[in-house]
């Protein structure tokens, strides 16, 4: 069973609207949690990195939150743009360089 | 500053052949890791090299191997290709310990096995 579960699997939103992606993990011990954006056919690009002591981190219109107690994270996209259409991947890192990847959420922004 | 460069970008091979993929990390980065990405399995860790030594390895068969050179460039080799090896292969580089310093991905090599 995957230790990092993302939801929804995919979503479609209208340009200018907000959306929130979820990431639940069971990985332990926990070192940090990252959100990546991956455009089709390209490599993932880091959006945010949070340690267990941080509960929010922003990068422009992207805001990630982390609740280490409930082992949940979310990525909120504000005022979506067509360029936000991509796959968003949650990656949880334990110690000793072991990574657990979520399957990703595919976001489609329509005009 | 140049990013992580992977070559070739696209590759078509037939079953049974072998293939070598190349990754040039960001200048100064000493850690290079490799990942396989497929629609069904998502991103899966293959192995990680640091200063020419393999430090970590994922759960892939021995047909998948890699190496790192003294200039930190890395190659990944897949022998006796199978249809299921068709995937996007990504490499990522980091200055030292990726967990502390973060890592940067290349654009990947799209391998198609026919």
Q: A66-76, pLDDT tens digit by residue?
A: 998 999 999 99
B25 in A contact zone (CB under 8 Å):
no
Q: What is the mean pLDDT of residues B63-67?
A: 97
Residues of B in contact with A31 (CB under 8 A): 99
Tokens 């990195």 — which residue?
A49
Does pLDDT of B99 surpass 60? Answer: no
Q: In whole angstroms, what is the distance from residue A5 CA to residue A102 CA? A: 6
Per the CB < 8 A criterion, the answer to whether A23 and A72 are in contact is yes
Q: Which residue has the higher pLDDT, A108 or B94?
A: A108
Q: In whole angstroms, what is the distance from residue B71 CA to residue B52 CA? A: 9
B102 and A46: CB-CB below 8 Å? Answer: yes
Q: What is the mean pLDDT of residues B8-27?
A: 97
Q: Which of B48, B22, B19 is nearest to B108 (CA)?
A: B22
Q: Which residue has the higher pLDDT, B80 or A40?
A: B80
Does pLDDT of B105 surpass 60? Answer: yes
Q: What is the mean pLDDT of residues B71-83?
A: 97
User: How far apart are the CA of A43 and the nearest CA of chain B, in angstroms?
Assistant: 4
Token pair recorded at residue A29: 């011990």
Per the CB < 8 A criterion, the answer to whether A68 and A11 are in contact is no
Position B103 confidence tier, pLDDT thresholds 50, 70, 90: confident
Q: Which of B101, B82, B105 is nearest to B6 (CA)?
A: B105
What pLDDT was estimated at residue A94? 73
């Amino acid at each position: 069973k995957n230790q990092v579960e993302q939801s929804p699997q995919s979503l479609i939103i209208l340009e200018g609207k907000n959306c929130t992606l979820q990431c639940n993990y069971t990985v332990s011990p926990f070192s940090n949690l990252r959100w990546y954006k991956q455009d089709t056919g390209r490599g993932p690009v880091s959006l945010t990195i949070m340690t267990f002591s941080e509960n929010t981190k922003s990068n422009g219109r992207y805001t990630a939150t982390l609740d280490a107690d409930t082992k949940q994270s979310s990525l909120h996209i504000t005022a979506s743009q067509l360029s936000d259409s991509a796959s968003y991947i949650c990656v949880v890192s334990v110690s000793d360089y072991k990574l657990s990847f979520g399957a990703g959420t595919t976001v489609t922004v329509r005009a | 500053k140049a990013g992580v460069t992977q070559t070739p970008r696209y590759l078509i091979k037939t079953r049974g052949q072998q293939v070598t993929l190349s990754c040039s990390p960001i200048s100064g980065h000493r850690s290079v890791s490799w990942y396989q990405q497929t629609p069904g399995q998502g991103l899966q860790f293959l192995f990680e090299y640091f200063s020419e030594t393999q430090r970590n390895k994922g759960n892939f068969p021995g047909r998948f191997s890699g190496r790192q050179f003294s200039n930190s460039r890395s190659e990944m080799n897949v022998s006796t290709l199978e249809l299921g090896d068709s995937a996007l292969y990504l490499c990522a580089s980091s200055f030292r310990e990726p967990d502390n310093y973060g890592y940067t991905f290349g654009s990947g090599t799209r391998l198609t096995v026919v």
